[in-house]
Each structure stands twice: as structure tokens, then as C-alpha cells.
């Protein structure tokens, strides 16, 4: 199971939100590169980088941060937040993204998102399935659609998607544990590479998610609040 620590960017700084609410912003570090280098030093190979300014403005904003992290570390970066056009995508990949995550666009402009899967391949494109209850949320979680999670994921599986990040918004940044039942249910219905996201709070949850069959797990606030140490993650990676 891949470990993907999260770096969320607002105005070039490393921040965390609770439940996607921008008013809960907490700055953890002025230098995302410093944070990324600390991850790399502990054997972490992957990074989940979110452009929160981009998610709000509906176009890529913090691509310079992506460029810096990609050029100055060896981390394989999954980049998301506000990717809405072919131009945004081109900038993301040219700036060093290894994979990109599309959430809102997959809901609002399916044709474009499907063309990305076809043009770049299923290994490069991740479906972002952010849920409130069982319904897909969009636009930095400011809107909730009428799309059911299971139908949404199944429809994109039929169109070639294999990687899916599923975030239970009610758990994000709350340090109350991930949505185990939701993931179990999703994995029983669709054959996907599921990346768990939201609510990770203790080290013990990592092997549990691995056992469920998750392909990856995104860890954010638990690292920044020292609930899970980089040393523990390093040991987990070495033993996996």
C-alpha cells in the first residue's frame, strides 16, 4: 500500500483545513519544500499535493510549488485542485506531476475528463470521489451533486479509470478515523485501486486499510499534529 502524505497549498504555504472549510485554515509551514524533503528523508516516495487556491478559482494556480517539489525531490507527485482544462493538465504534467486527480471536472465536464484518460492513460489520471453522505461533492467541497458515489465510480470504471481517491468529507481533518465501512463497501462493488483519504488519526489504521485492500492512503493532519510520526511511516514502508 502506497503512503501519500498530503501537502495542501494556499498562497504557496503548507496548510490544513477541517472538512474542506477554508475558514479553518491552519498554516503548518511556510515552505512546502522543507516539508517534502522531510518526507523524502524518511523513505516516503509519494506525495499528494493539493492546490487549494486552484480548487477555489477553478484553474491551476500553485504550479510553481509543484515545479519546485518535483525538481528538488524524487517524490512521485499526485497533483489536484482546480484542474478544469486541457491547458491546466498540460501545465501540471509539464511542472512535474506524476499523476493528476480530477474531481469536479469528472462531474461537470465528463467529456474532457474521459479524453484525459484516453490521451494520458489510466496510470496518470486519478478520479477524485469526494463524498458528503453518499453524494459526490465538487468545487473545493462547496457544492454537493446528486450523483451517488457507487454509480459515479462504476461509470468511470467502465470508461477506463483504475485509480480512485475517495474522501469522506465529514472525516477530513477531524482525526476521528477513516471511513472503513464506506471503503469496504466500495471495494466489494468495483475493482479499482482505491486510495483512502480523510480522517486518518493513528498508525494502527494503516495496516487495517491495507488489509481492506486499499492501494494507497493519504495522510495529512495526523502527520502535522504528530499523531503519526515519519519514523512510524518509514518502518511501515520498509516492512510492507
SS3 53: helix
Q: 132-158: string of b/e by CB count within 10 Å (b at 16+)?
A: beeebbbbbbeebeebebeebbeebbe
Annotation marks residue 130 as catalytic: yes
| Catalytic residue, candidates 8, 53, 88, 168 | 8
> Among candidates 231, 164, 220, which has minimal Cα distance to 192?
164
Query: Which DSSP category does 42 fall into?
Result: T
| Catalytic residue, candidates 53, 78, 88, 130 | 130
Half-sphere exposure of 37 (CA within 13 A, CB side): 8
Angle at 130 between CA 128 and CA 22, to 5 degrees: 110
**How is residue 212 written as a grid cell?**
481492506
> Among candidates 18, 215, 207, 186, which has minimal Cα distance to 99?
215
Q: Are strands 2-10 and 216-219 parallel, antiparallel or unpaired?
A: parallel
**How is residue 21 written as a grid cell?**
472549510
Contact 41, 74 (CB under 8 A): no
Which amino acids are annotated catalytic? 8, 130
Amino acid at each position: 500500500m502506497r503512503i501519500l502524505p498530503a501537502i495542501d497549498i494556499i498562497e504557496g504555504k503548507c496548510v490544513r483545513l477541517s472538512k474542506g472549510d477554508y475558514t479553518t485554515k491552519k498554516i503548518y509551514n511556510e515552505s512546502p519544500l522543507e516539508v517534502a524533503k522531510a518526507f523524502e528523508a524518511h523513505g516516503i516516495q509519494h506525495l499528494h499535493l493539493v492546490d487549494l487556491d486552484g480548487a477555489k478559482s477553478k484553474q491551476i494556480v500553485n504550479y510553481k510549488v509543484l515545479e519546485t517539489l518535483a525538481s528538488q525531490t524524487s517524490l512521485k507527485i499526485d497533483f489536484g485542485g482546480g484542474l478544469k482544462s486541457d491547458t491546466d493538465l498540460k501545465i501540471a504534467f509539464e511542472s512535474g506531476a506524476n499523476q493528476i486527480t480530477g474531481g469536479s471536472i469528472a462531474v461537470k465536464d465528463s467529456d474532457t475528463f474521459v479524453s484525459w484518460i484516453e490521451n494520458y492513460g489510466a496510470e496518470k489520471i486519478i478520479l477524485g470521489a469526494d463524498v458528503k453522505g453518499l453524494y459526490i461533492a465538487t468545487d473545493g467541497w462547496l457544492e454537493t451533486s446528486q450523483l451517488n458515489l457507487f454509480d459515479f465510480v462504476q461509470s468511470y470504471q467502465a470508461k477506463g479509470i483504475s485509480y480512485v481517491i475517495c474522501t469522506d468529507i465529514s472525516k477530513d481533518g477531524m482525526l476521528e478515523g477513516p471511513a472503513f465501512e464506506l471503503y469496504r463497501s466500495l471495494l466489494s462493488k468495483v475493482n479499482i485501486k482505491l486510495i483512502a483519504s480523510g480522517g486518518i488519526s493513528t498508525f494502527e489504521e494503516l495496516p487495517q486499510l491495507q488489509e481492506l485492500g486499499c492501494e494507497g492512503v493519504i495522510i495529512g493532519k495526523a502527520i502535522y499534529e504528530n499523531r503519526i510520526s515519519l519514523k512510524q511511516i518509514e518502518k511501515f514502508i520498509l516492512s510492507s
